[in-house]
Amino acid sequence: MRVLFHFYKQLVVTNVFLAFVFSTFAWSAPPIMLKIFAISLPTFAFVLTLFFFSQRSGHQYYLYRNLGYSKRHLFGFAWGINLFLAVAILYGASYYLSA
Amino acid sequence: MMNKLEIDSIFLSYRDNHILSDCYLECLTGDIIGILGRNGTGKSSLFEVIFGTLKPQNKFIRVDDKLYKKPFLKQLVGYLPQKGMFPEHQSVNRLLRLMLKKQTVELAFLNDQRIQKLWNQNIGTLSGGERKYFEVYIMLHMEHPFILLDEPFAGIEPIYAYEIENLIKLNTKSKGILISDHYYQHVIRVSSKLFLLREGALKAISDPRQLEALGYVPYGTF
């Protein structure tokens, strides 16, 4: 788990930044902006983040492989956390807006 | 505990270019196997196949007579790639804590002056020799019974190369080690068995002068 979190921490800044960039397409409508942010976190922004990470730091996958983790493990875990965050944000947003 | 790594019937080709054909190798705990070969003969590819990250047309990788497709998933084989694998912005002690057991980290700090000196430095600030020493140190202190070191002597000053040689020699009791490098003097000195990878096959070398006859080094080298 510690190793998987280590990988996630390598991605999170870029992932959140890219999700924010995507969300700015709806700058004028904050509720939609929040939805786009949440949806892009485990989707477009995540795919782009993995692409950039592989291009820039692809050699680091060997570190995780030496600890017994394949790309599938790493991507699955990171995607799972992002999905959880996305659902939490969407749920929180709908609760807040309906209140 | 004595472990055995067997690599058998490896065929790897890209289109019509046969890289590895029918390679066989056996490595036991305590062995240091040196693999020499000219550029492009497939040394790194062979290591990637053994590690489980490169899928050839055919392969049998056995550890203690059990077949594995990706031995790295069971942490049976560790691999230090030529280009390294550590993030530049992280400190030596943080990476030691990530990769090694707590007791091993404490011992590293107490017993190795080089590691002590590098303790708080980031990977990106280390010199080529320090970085290579640290990478080899970590690999040799992980739990894997077999370790693959791809060019551990490349591009570093002689003093570090000798220290890495000593590091490897000191850590063979519980591991089998495979080394590939163009710095053949170091590889020959440190190895208990030597092979030349040539035309896709591994040829056992019993006398370094065979390397002259096989065209790996110029005549008169030994």
Q: How far is B98 from chain A (nearest CA, A)?
A: 7
User: Given an 8 Å threshold on Cβ–Cβ distance, is A66 in contact with B53?
Assistant: no
- Whether residue B186 contacts residue B155, with contact meaning beta carbons closer than 8 Å, is answered with no
Q: At what angle do helices A71-98 and A2-23 cross, to 10 degrees?
A: 50
Chain A with chain B: Cβ pairs closer than 8 A: 46
Read off the pLDDT of residues A22-68 as tens digits, 9 standing for 90 and up. Answer: 999 887 887 889 999 999 999 999 999 999 999 999 999 999 999 99
| % residues pLDDT > 90 (chain A) | 81
Is this prediction's ipTM beyond 0.95?
A: no
Read off the pLDDT of residues B164-192 as tens digits, 9 standing for 90 and up. Answer: 999 999 888 889 999 999 999 999 999 99
pLDDT above 90 (res B85): yes
pTM: 0.92
Beta bridge partner(s), residue B36: B196
Interface of A with B in 18-37 (CB under 8 A): none
What's the average model confidence in pLDDT over B80-103? Answer: 92
User: Given an 8 Å threshold on Cβ–Cβ distance, is B81 in contact with A62?
Assistant: yes
Q: In this structure, is the dihedral angle defined by the CA atoms of residues B33, B39, B45 and B48, taken in order, positive or negative?
A: positive
What are the backbone angles phi and psi of residue A69, rounded to the nearest 5°? Answer: -115, 130
Going by C-alpha positions, the residue among B73, B98, B70, B104 that lies closest to residue B86 is B98
User: Given an 8 Å threshold on Cβ–Cβ distance, is B81 in contact with A59?
Assistant: yes
First CA to last CA distance, chain A = 37
Task: Specify the pLDDT at position A97.
Answer: 74
Task: Specify the pLDDT at position A99.
Answer: 67
Instruction: Tally Cβ neighbours within 10 Å of residue B38.
Output: 12
**CATH number of the domain located at residue range(s) B4-80+137-213 in this protein:** 3.40.50.300
Instruction: Assess A43–B contact: CB distance below 8 Å, yes or no.
Output: no
B-chain CB neighbours of A59 within 8 Å are 81, 83-85
Planar angle of CA B151, B137, B48, nearest 5 degrees:
40
Read off the pLDDT of residues B5-26 as tens digits, 9 standing for 90 and up. Answer: 999 999 999 888 889 987 899 9
pLDDT band of residue B99 (cuts 50, 70, 90) is very high
Tokens 């959880």 locate to A84
